Amino acid sequence: MDFKNKKITVMGLGLYKEGSGISATRFLLSRGAKVTVTDLKTKAELIDQIKRLGKLANQVRFVLGKHRESDFKNVDMIIKNPAIPRKSKYLEIARANNIPIETDISLFFKLVNRRQIIGITGTRGKSTVTTLIYEILKQAKDNVIIGGNITKSPLVQLNKMKKNGLAILELSSWLLESLEDAKLSPRIAVFTNIYPDHLNTYKDIDDYAAAKENIFKWQINQDYVVLNLDNEFTKKMGSRVPSKRFWFSLKEFKNENGCFLKNKNIYFRNNGHEEKVLSVADIKMPGSHNIANVLAAVCVCKLYGLKSENIKKVVSVFYGVPNRLELLREIKDVKYYNDTTSTMPEASLVALQALKSSKKNIILIAGGADKGLDFTELVKEIEKTVKSLVLFKGTGTDRILKLLKTKKIDCAVANSMSEAIGLAKSFSKTGDIILLSPACASFGMFKNEFDRGDQFRSLVDKLK
């Protein structure tokens, strides 16, 4: 694909250091393209990103604080940030003018052999599974890269993707929509689960799940898909896959290929051959959801022929991914956990279940912006396992407070992370857990969920 002297509009510079927008800009400039970056954020809001471009910024035409129709008409290509809705009026203008629209991921798929790609999607667990697969495979193979929704674009790592290169990509529903247009799926697709999420973007859960299904929809029969047998949505998908199907489950299953638990050990089965890979005791991450994440990762690595001892070696020293039920510190016998990426009630419910004990010792920091999700089951779990509740001001918090019936929980609303930690600390005593697991979106008070987690981490680091 030749980009030299092509006029390309990058729609959405983004805020991540190595994210879609900034990485696409760097890549296109390196290939000789004439790049326009347009973003609804102002120069003041994007100044850090512009500085990260360094001298390259001088080669970019910036249109900030607005979009212009002309930048979507008289160009050769649009690269859109994945968070921008497909139905944006500016993208409709581009389509009406037959301008191709890509994301950094769809472009990457077209620039490499898709057989070199492992894709991971799902509502929960995809970052952990993506990272664990990467950590295991990079011990055994050269030129393994990680990217996608994990806030790192694969485009900036394209030089590592030689004939034997391998890309481990976390793929969101928005990124997978761009693969639908290209009719491309990875050689190995992993689907962790489906829960209601992004219902402020999709009309219903079926619409959301349909976008996710693009991860295997365009596979061929020589490809592989790894599905969660314990999730009702992914279980039903099993009948629709065009490729070789492998399952993973917290329960033993018969006959089918895949990974499962038996007598507190993880087994892998392929064409009747069954092998013990490791023990549950080897897993350092808390919660049954993390056992499921390990099952999915093990399945992929066994498909690549890795020895069980090599898989076990990595799993036994893998403590999880930052911002996902991450133990930050223990101060005066109070543990601080960062679970900022739990932006939906089901995720925070899982976090509470993973950390709960016989004594009610969890102080939960939650709440924020509403995504149109159901908080009923989470509130029931809060009433059972949480001793104190600190909520960020927001529309999601308003709904949680309406559902909260018990008066036995100390409850307070905070206007900042600093205030939230101060309140949580005031409620705590020896042996308690302070858990940031918001169950809500971050917009309004924070730039994004990672900014929320960074603020929590920074303030906890300063505690004495």
pLDDT in tens, 345-360: 999 999 999 999 888 9
Q: Where are the domains of the chain?
A: 7-102, 105-315, 326-462
Query: Which of 124-128, 358-362, 453-457 has the weakest average pLDDT?
Result: 358-362
Do 243 and 212 contact (CB within 8 A), yes or no? Answer: no
Q: What share of the chain is helix, strand, coil (3-state, %, to 5)?
A: 40, 25, 35
Helices (runs of H) and strands (runs of E) counted in the chain: 16, 20
pLDDT class of 125 with cuts at 50, 70, 90: very high
User: CA dihedral in degrees (343, 347, 353, 354; nearest 10)?
Assistant: -90
pTM for the whole thing? 0.91
Task: Supply the pLDDT for residue 129.
Answer: 98
122 annotated as belonging to a binding site for a ligand = yes
SS3 sequence of 118-146: EEEECCCCHHHHHHHHHHHHHHHCCCEEE
Q: How far is CA 50 from CA 43, 58, 257, in A?
A: 8, 10, 49
Residues 6+ apart with CB under 8 A from 61: 34, 35, 36, 37
* Cα–Cα dist 164/145, whole Å: 12
pLDDT given at position 372: 86
Q: How confident is the model at residue 275 (pLDDT cuts 50, 70, 90)?
A: very high
Split at pLDDT 50, 70, 90, the class of 151 is confident
Identify the CA nearest to 38 among candidates 3, 17, 68.
68
Residue 167 binned pLDDT confidence (cut-offs 50, 70, 90): very high
The residues facing 63 across adjacent strands are 38
Would the annotation count 124 as a binding residue? yes
Place of tokens 């999607």: 121
- CB neighbour list of residue 422: distance below 8 Å, 6 or more residues apart: none
- The CA distances from residue 400 to 154, 353, 367, 368, 438, in Å, are 38, 18, 8, 10, 11
Query: What is the structure's pLDDT at 160?
Result: 86
Q: How far apart are CA 434 and CA 352, in angstroms?
A: 11
Tens-digit pLDDT profile for residues 354-395: 999 888 999 999 999 998 889 999 999 999 999 999 999 999
CB 249 within 8 A of CB 258: yes
Cα distances (Å, whole numbers) of residue 377 to 31, 134, 348, 350: 51, 34, 10, 11
Residue 72 to residue 81: CA distance in whole angstroms: 14
Angle, in degrees to the nearest 10, between helices 449-462 and 417-427: 50
Taking the C-alpha atoms of residue 146 and residue 389, their distance in angstroms, rounded to an integer, is: 36
Question: Residue 301: enclosing H or E segment and its boundaries?
Answer: helix 288-303
- pLDDT exceeds 90 at position 162: no
To the question of whether residue 234 is assigned a binding role by annotation, the answer is: no
- With 80 as the cut, is the pLDDT of residue 200 above it? no
Q: What is the fold of 7-102?
A: Rossmann fold (3.40.50)
Pair 400, 366: CB distance under 8 Å = yes
Q: Which residues 6+ apart lie within 8 Å of 269 measured at CB? A: 256, 257, 258, 259, 260, 275
Give the 3-state secondary structure of residue 387: strand
pLDDT greater than 90 at residue 407: no
User: Which pLDDT value is given to residue 317?
Assistant: 97
Other residues' Cβ atoms within 10 Å of the Cβ of residue 235: 15
Spatial distance between the Cα atoms of 100 and 280, rounded to a whole number of angstroms: 48
Only one residue has tokens 């600190």, namely 390
Q: Which fold does the domain 326-462 belong to in CATH?
A: Protein-Tyrosine Phosphatase; Chain A (3.90.190)
Under the banding of pLDDT at 50, 70 and 90, the label for residue 74 is: very high
pLDDT band at 189 (very low <50, low <70, confident <90, very high): very high
User: Residue 12 corresponds to which amino acid?
Assistant: G
Element (H, E) at 304: none
Instruction: Please tell me whether 7 is known to bind a ligand.
Output: no
- At 206-248, the pLDDT tens digits run 999 999 999 999 999 999 999 999 999 999 999 999 999 999 9
- Determine what percent of the chain is predicted with pLDDT higher than 90: 89
Residue 334 has pLDDT above 90, yes or no: yes
- Cβ(73)–Cβ(93) below 8 Å: yes
**Fold match, 7-102 / 105-315:** no
> With 0-12 CB in 10 A as exposed, 13-18 as middle and 19+ as buried, what is 142?
exposed
Instruction: Confirm or deny that 52 is annotated as ligand binding.
Output: no
CA atoms within 13 A on the CB side of 259: 29
For residue 97, what pLDDT is reported?
98
- Mean per-residue pLDDT, 293-298: 99
Per-residue confidence at 461, pLDDT binned at 50, 70, 90? very high
Q: Is 123 annotated as a binding residue?
A: yes
d(CA 223, CA 263): 31
Region 52-63: what's the mean pLDDT? 97
**Does the structure show a pLDDT above 80 at 438?**
yes
Burial class (CB in 10 A: 0-12, 13-18, 19+), 225: buried
Q: Residue 193: its pLDDT value, please?
A: 97
- Strand ranges (E), 280-418: 326-331, 334-338, 362-367, 386-392, 410-414
CATH number of 105-315: 3.40.1190.10
